[in-house]
Amino acid sequence: MGSAAKPKVVLGVSGGIAAYKACELLRRLTESGHDVRVVPTDSALHFVGEATWSALSGNPVSTEVWETVHEVPHVRIGQAADLVVVAPTTADMLAKAAHGLADDLLTNTLLTARCPVVFAPAMHTEMWEHPATQENVATLRRRGAVVIEPAVGRLTGVDTGKGRLPDPAEIFEVCRRVLARGADALATDLAGRHVVVSAGGTREPLDPVRYLGNRSSGKQGYALARAAAARGARVTLVEANTGIADPAGVDVVHVGTALQLREAVLKAVADADAVVMAAAVADFRPAVYAAGKIKKKDDGGAPTVELVRNPDILAELAADRALPGQVVVGFAAETDDVLANGREKLRRKGCDLLVVNEVGERKTFGSEENEAVVLASDGGETPVPYGPKEALAETVWDLVLPRLRPAT
Ligand SMILES: Cc1cc2nc3c(=O)[nH]c(=O)nc-3n(C[C@H](O)[C@H](O)[C@H](O)COP(=O)(O)O)c2cc1C
C-alpha cells in the first residue's frame, strides 16, 4: 500500500507514566499499514523522548503550535486525520478535551479533527473516580468520542485499582474497529447502552481432574464484546474457559460451569439493553461430583456417568426478561438441516435473534472465520458470508440496534 493510501492516525500521548506503552501501540499501528503522526504533550516527553516517537513513526514530532508555522500544523494535522487516539489520556487531557482548551498541538488537533476520536485514560483510581473526571468523560462520550474504560490492576508504585492503561494490543483492536466503521459512523451508535455477552465453553467437573467440556474457543463472543465496546456500549462479558486476554474497556466476569455462567449472566442483565449468548453452555452436567479422582477398577470395567440437565439459560432470559424490551440473542451451532433446526430453535427459545452457524472445518469452533444466517423472530433472515468473526459481530449489533427499547 502506498503512503498516500495509508489511513492517517494521530497518536496523541499525554503525560502519564503509561506513556511507554504507547510505543507498542505505535508499532502495531505502523506495522499494520497506518501512517502515524505522534503528537505528545510536553509532559509526555518527560516519560518518552521525541527521538523515540520520531524514529518509531518515521514522522516529525512536535508538541506545540509554534514550529513549522507555515504548515499551520495546529489545523492541518487534525483535519487530515482518519483517526485520533490519545493513549494514555491523563486526567488533565480529559479536562482540556471536554472543555475545548487549545494550548498545545494535541489539544488544537483534538478541536480540528472531524474523524473518530478514541481516548484511553490512565490514572490513579482516585483521579479516575473524581466527579470532575467522570463528568468530563461523560461529556466526551456524549459528543461521540470513544472513551475506553481503564483496566483494573497494578498502578504506579504499589497501588492497585481501576485506572491502568489497557493492553496496547487491546487499544489497537479498538482503533482498528473504529477505523473500519469509517469517519461518518463515529462508532458510537451503542453509546449509553449496556450489553451483556457470554463467550467460551462451560466445563462441568466430574472429579478434581476431569470435566465434560466443548470445543468453543470464545473468539466469536470476544469479537462481539470488542465490537460493542468500540461502538460505545458498556459491555459485560461473561467468559468461560477461553484463556483470552480481557478486551479493553470491557467488564469481564470469569466463570467455569454452566451454573456459574447462569448466575453471572442473570446478575449482569438486570440493567442491560441486550444480551447475546454466544457461549456454548453444557446441556448436561454429571449428577455427582466425585470429591476424589475416580480410579480405574481392577476388573477392567469403566464407571457409568449419570448426567442431569442444566438450566436452559437462553430460554430463561427470553421468557423472563429483566427489563421490558430487552433484546435477547442466541447462537445455534448445527451440523445438519441448519436453517430448519435454527427456525425451530428460535421459536422454542423465544429469543429475538438467533445466529445460526454450521459447524464445519474452517468455521465456528476455534477458527478466526465464521459464516452464518441471523434469523429474526419477525421472520427476517440475514445471511452473513464467510469472513472474519468481527464482521459477523458487527452484523449482529446492526440487527440488535433497531430492536433496542428507546434510550432513557
Ligand atoms: C511520575 C508521574 C506520573 C504521572 N502519571 C499520571 C497518570 O498516569 N495519569 C494522569 O492523569 N496524570 C499523571 N501524572 C500527572 C500529569 O503528568 C500532569 O497532570 C500533567 O500536567 C499532564 O499534562 P498533559 O495532560 O498535558 O500531558 C503523572 C505525573 C508524574 C510526575
Beta partners for residue 356, in sequence order: 332, 373
Q: Candidates 11, 13, 17: which one to mutate for ligand 1, based on the most atoms within 8 Å of Cβ?
A: 17
Which among 339, 342, 344, 332 is positioned nearest to 220, based on CA atoms? 332
Which among 216, 180, 214 is positioned nearest to 198, based on CA atoms? 216
Give distance in angstroms: CA of 407 to centre of ligand 1: 36
Contacts with 123 (C-beta within 8 Å, 6 or more apart), sequence order: 16, 88, 90, 91, 133, 150, 163
In a domain, 111, yes or no: yes
Residue 155 CB less than 6 A away from ligand 1: no
**Within 10 A of 271 (CB to CB), how many other CB atoms are there?**
12
Mapping DSSP to helix (H, G, I), strand (E, B) and coil, where does residue 192 land?
coil
Q: Give the Cα separation of 351 and 373 in Å (integer).
A: 15
Residue 45 CB less than 6 A away from ligand 1: no
Summarize the confidence of residues 285-303 as an average pLDDT: 89
| Domain final residue pick, 171, 187, 203 | 187
| Residues belonging to the active site | 214
Residue predicted with more confidence, 153 or 366 = 153
Do 160 and 249 lie in one domain? The reply is: no
Residue 40 CB less than 6 A away from ligand 1: no
pLDDT > 80? residue 360: no
Q: How many structural domains is the chain composed of? A: 2
Mapping DSSP to helix (H, G, I), strand (E, B) and coil, where does residue 135 land?
helix
Contact 238, 261 (CB under 8 A): yes
Give distance in angstroms: CA of 90 to centre of ligand 1: 6
In a domain, 3, yes or no: no
Do 172 and 247 lie in one domain? The reply is: no
Summarize the confidence of residues 253-282 as an average pLDDT: 97
364-370 long-range Cβ contacts below 8 angstroms, 24+ apart = 364/333, 365/215, 365/216, 365/217, 365/333, 366/215, 366/217, 366/219, 367/217, 367/219, 368/219, 370/220
pLDDT above 90 covers a percentage of the chain that reads 68
CA dihedral 278, 280, 281, 284 (to 10 degrees): 160
CA–chain centroid gap for 171, Å, is: 10
User: In the structure, what pLDDT confidence band is assigned to residue 187 with cuts at 50, 70 and 90?
Assistant: low
**182: containing domain:** 8-187
Ligand 1 atom with minimal separation from the 13 CA: 27
CATH number of the domain bearing residue 377: 3.40.50.10300
| Domain final residue pick, 125, 155, 187 | 187
Residue 136 CB less than 6 A away from ligand 1: no
Residue 264 CB less than 6 A away from ligand 1: no
Query: What stretches of 294-335 show up as alpha helix (H) in DSSP?
Result: 313-319
Of 39-43, 205-209, 370-374, give the lowest mean pLDDT range: 370-374
Q: Give the Cα separation of 268 and 194 in Å (integer).
A: 9
Do 166 and 282 lie in one domain? The reply is: no
User: Measuring from atom 29 of ligand 1, which residue has the nearest CA?
Assistant: 16
Do 135 and 18 lie in one domain? The reply is: yes
In a domain, 18, yes or no: yes
**Within 10 A of 127 (CB to CB), how many other CB atoms are there?**
17
| Model pLDDT, residue 186 | 45
| Domain final residue pick, 187, 202, 230 | 187
The two beta strands, 274-277 and 210-212, are unpaired
In a domain, 393, yes or no: yes
pTM metric for this prediction: 0.68
Do you find a cis peptide bond into 150, omega within 30 degrees of 0?
no
CA dihedral 386, 392, 396, 402 (to 10 degrees): -80
User: In the structure, what pLDDT confidence band is assigned to residue 5 with cuts at 50, 70 and 90?
Assistant: confident
| Model pLDDT, residue 36 | 97
Q: Give the Cα separation of 45 and 59 in Å (integer).
A: 16
Q: HSE, CB side, 13 Å, CA atoms: give it for residue 355.
A: 31
Do 178 and 44 lie in one domain? The reply is: yes
Q: Give the Cα separation of 399 and 389 in Å (integer).
A: 16
Do 57 and 130 lie in one domain? The reply is: yes
Q: What average pLDDT does the structure give for the chain?
A: 90
Q: Give the Cα separation of 39 and 15 in Å (integer).
A: 12
